[in-house]
Amino acid sequence: MGKSLCVPPRPGELCAPIRLRLPGDHSTQQLTSRHRVTGVETDGGAVVVRVEITDPATSRPIDVRFDVVPPGERPTARSVLLGTADLAAGPAEVYGTYLGVVADEN
C-alpha cells in the first residue's frame, strides 16, 4: 500500500518506478502530481525513496520536500510519514511534504 503526497495514480494507470537518492536530511524534489511512494530504504548510508510516477505528459509537475529526522520529530503538521531508515547515526523517520505545483517560468 503506497502513499501519495498529492494525488494517487488512477486505478490501472501505468506507472514508472523510480528511486530517489536523497542528497541530505532535507531536500526538495520534483514529482508528477499523480504518484505513489512505495517504500524507503538505505543504500550505502544514503536514504532512497521508491516512487511510482505517472507519465509526465499527463500529470503536472509538483515540488515535494523530503525530511530525514530523528524518530518523533515530525517536520510540519502536513508532513506524511513515508517510512523509517536505519542509518549509521541511528534510526530515522522519512517524511514527505507537498509544497505545490511547480511554478511556470516566463
**Number of domains forming the structure of the chain:** 1
Q: Which domain holds residue 31?
A: 16-101
Q: What is the pLDDT of residue 27?
A: 97
Residue 3 included in any domain: no
Q: What is the largest CA-CA distance in the chain?
A: 44
pLDDT in tens, the chain (106 residues): 689 999 999 999 999 999 999 999 999 999 999 999 999 999 988 999 999 999 999 999 999 999 999 999 999 999 999 999 999 999 999 999 999 999 776 4
Residue 75 included in any domain: yes
Residue 76 included in any domain: yes
